[in-house]
């Protein structure tokens, strides 16, 4: 009986250690130079425009911003990308106002290109 009680008491303590370790890891990650996280990227490396920094930091929580910047999409497609990040990759859904700001920047900075680079439809008569 005694041993069981000790075991039961030990479990929350272990959880606390795990949580503390996770928090420490997060703090250490945040303290790393930007280069270690996203290969020397900074918001300034990308086209200037309103909401650039917010967009940069919203998207680089998980991957480099180059991955974003190499796309060219219209607003609807960017919106779908965000939905995909949320539904498939666990991105916390941005508030409507923040989402609009992010879309404002993405649409302005990386608009749909005339020649799609990623297997998009290419009009054979347009060449």
CB of 99 to ligand HEC, least distance (A): 8
CB of 81 to ligand HEC, least distance (A): 5
Retrieve residue 76's tokens.
Answer: 């609807």
Give dist(CA 89, CA 91) in Å, integer: 6
Residues near ligand HEC, by CB under 6 A? 58-59, 61-63, 67-68, 71, 81-82, 85, 89-91, 102, 106
Retrieve residue 12's tokens.
Answer: 């929350």
Nearer to ligand HEC, 52 or 85 (CB): 85
Nearer to ligand HEC, 117 or 127 (CB): 117
Give dist(CA 105, CA 102) in Å, integer: 5
Tokens 């005339």 correspond to 114
3-state secondary structure of 81: helix
Nearer to ligand HEC, 20 or 39 (CB): 39
Return the axis-axis angle of helices 96-109 and 75-89, rounded to nearest 10°: 130
Nearer to ligand HEC, 81 or 112 (CB): 81
CB of 118 to ligand HEC, least distance (A): 7
CB of 12 to ligand HEC, least distance (A): 29
DSSP assignment letter at 114: S
């Amino acid at each position: 009986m005694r041993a069981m009680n000790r075991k039961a008491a030990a479990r929350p303590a272990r959880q606390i250690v795990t949580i503390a370790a996770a928090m420490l890891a997060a703090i250490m990650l945040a303290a790393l130079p930007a280069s270690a996280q996203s290969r020397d990227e900074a918001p300034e490396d990308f086209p200037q425009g309103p909401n650039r920094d917010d967009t940069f930091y919203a998207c680089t929580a998980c991957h480099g911003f180059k991955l974003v910047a190499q796309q060219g999409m219209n607003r609807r497609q960017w919106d779908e990308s965000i939905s995909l990040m949320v539904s498939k990759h666990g991105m916390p859904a941005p508030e409507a106002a923040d989402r609009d700001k992010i879309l404002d920047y993405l649409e302005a900075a990386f608009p749909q290109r005339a020649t799609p680079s990623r297997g998009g439809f290419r009009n054979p008569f347009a060449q």
